[in-house]
Structure 1
């Protein structure tokens, strides 16, 4: 009986994995930094990259309270997407990043970006992902029954694999491969070894935006630590958390302003993130 349940569990696991990870190939031509950020960390990460690109282009700054301010008639930088245009529209007045993310025009653009990645077969659609989780849950139940019937050697690995599927995130195999390829081509430079106060050193705008899209918070801490901390892009951390103790002694209080207090768009995981 244990072997019977283990066979059903294995079949369910394979079905769930195919639903979640298939296909092996997707359309990767024409991907912008916003697409790559959404592929890595969700649509909130894409929003962060769009804001960073405006910052790198020059017309955007943040005040001490973390509110974003667009100066003049800013044009969308680089290869604009509907998300860039939505951000420009949202920042007609100073807003914190969390407030920008919640605006309907920005939410629509974020959803559109995700739908495009699903159409490219780089992300798994919501219905298919839900079906995969339901099947995985059934497979885990069958594996638990196999364990109760004395087939722990067969059932336990299936339970572990089902739990891994729940933590795998929405990227398909094609999306995972493309993200890994881009990260190999554009590794994150090492952080500067200095005890001085953090300074934004983004370098070339195109390369900096791409590194933020591919590496998230780690790139922000290396390239734009002051701006990212001030605006709450580092997961709710403030500028005070980034400034070194020695800087506080010599009085760099302008970098102590609180960020927006919002939860950052996530980590380098597959869930919503920077």
Structure 2
């Protein structure tokens, strides 16, 4: 096998080894996770910002505005949560949640939360994760260049083809490694087991700590919990389904399966004069 092919194959395996090392997660340490942290592990930046908006809405600090946007409705209240304060500080005018997630103050607060989860061994470093994926994207290209050279030279040895074929499935497996660690996924599963989403909002309201419990439900179940507890705020503020709504029910077709039928039916009934959003005990009714 030509020397150039050995170099290409060796480089491809080196890329795989480095990518694997970058994707290794640190040792997880026990930590109590706030709802915003759980939401970030479950659904990324947007999910974490949604939980912060719910907490602010419960205190009357934010409200839905026109055209599925969110606006500030007073001060952030007595909160020391950096994400909530960052989100509220970003609401200089009514904006959609997609733009809100990318505001500098919001991104700064989310990045700080990501750093905390990284130190806890629950989230891979964004920089290391992106660097690993860049290396993995190069893995198929490197041996392909060598194969092109030996093909032009007329070398029919099967060994380089076999070695090149080995690198591709390994790269695919590493590419599928998520930013969250196995410990984070176990923590989410344990929280869902301890806190199943109730079938009716009355089952989670009227007791001490209701606001925090609802934030936890939104963190763990996303759209399903929003449609159950704050349907008007979620619909009018554009919080459901990634912001791309279907005119019939306000939910995108690809996400309808994520909302239990009972909650989806109650959400649809809002347009027919149904339940107009009783207070969920958090100080800012829907």
TM bucket by the smaller chain?
Answer: 0.5 to 0.7
Offset from partner CA, 1:13-60 (integer Å, 9 cap, x none): 34422311332x234424322222223333332211100222234543
1:252 counterpart = 2:272: yes
Q: TM-score, normalised by structure 2?
A: 0.63
Q: TM-score, normalised by structure 1?
A: 0.65
Match of 2:255 in 1: none
Size of the aligned set, in residue pairs, is: 244
Structure 2: gaps (5+ residues): 152-156, 251-263, 276-286
2:242 paired residue among 220, 231, 235: 235
Q: Find the residue that maps to 1:68 and give its secondary structure.
A: strand
1:53 counterpart = 2:55: yes
Quick one: distance in 1 between partners of 2:217 and 2:158? 50
Match of 1:20 in 2: 23
Task: Assess, with a 3 A threshold, how the Cα gap between structure 1 residues 191 and 246 changes in structure 2: closer, same or farther.
Answer: closer
> Contact between 2:29 and 2:120, CA under 8 Å: does it hold in 1?
yes
Task: Assess, with a 3 A threshold, how the Cα gap between structure 1 residues 166 and 218 changes in structure 2: closer, same or farther.
Answer: farther
Match of 1:196 in 2: none
> Contact between 2:62 and 2:74, CA under 8 Å: does it hold in 1?
no
Match of 1:214 in 2: 220
Aligned-pair CA distance for 1:82: 1.4
> Contact between 1:76 and 1:84, CA under 8 Å: does it hold in 2?
no
1:115 counterpart = 2:122: no
Quick one: distance in 2 between partners of 1:126 and 1:156? 29
Match of 1:136 in 2: 136
Quick one: distance in 2 between partners of 1:202 and 1:140? 52
Q: CA RMSD in A?
A: 4.3
Structure 1: gaps (5+ residues): 194-198, 256-274
Larger RCO (CA within 8 A; separation ≥ 6) = 1
- Bigger Cα Rg: 2
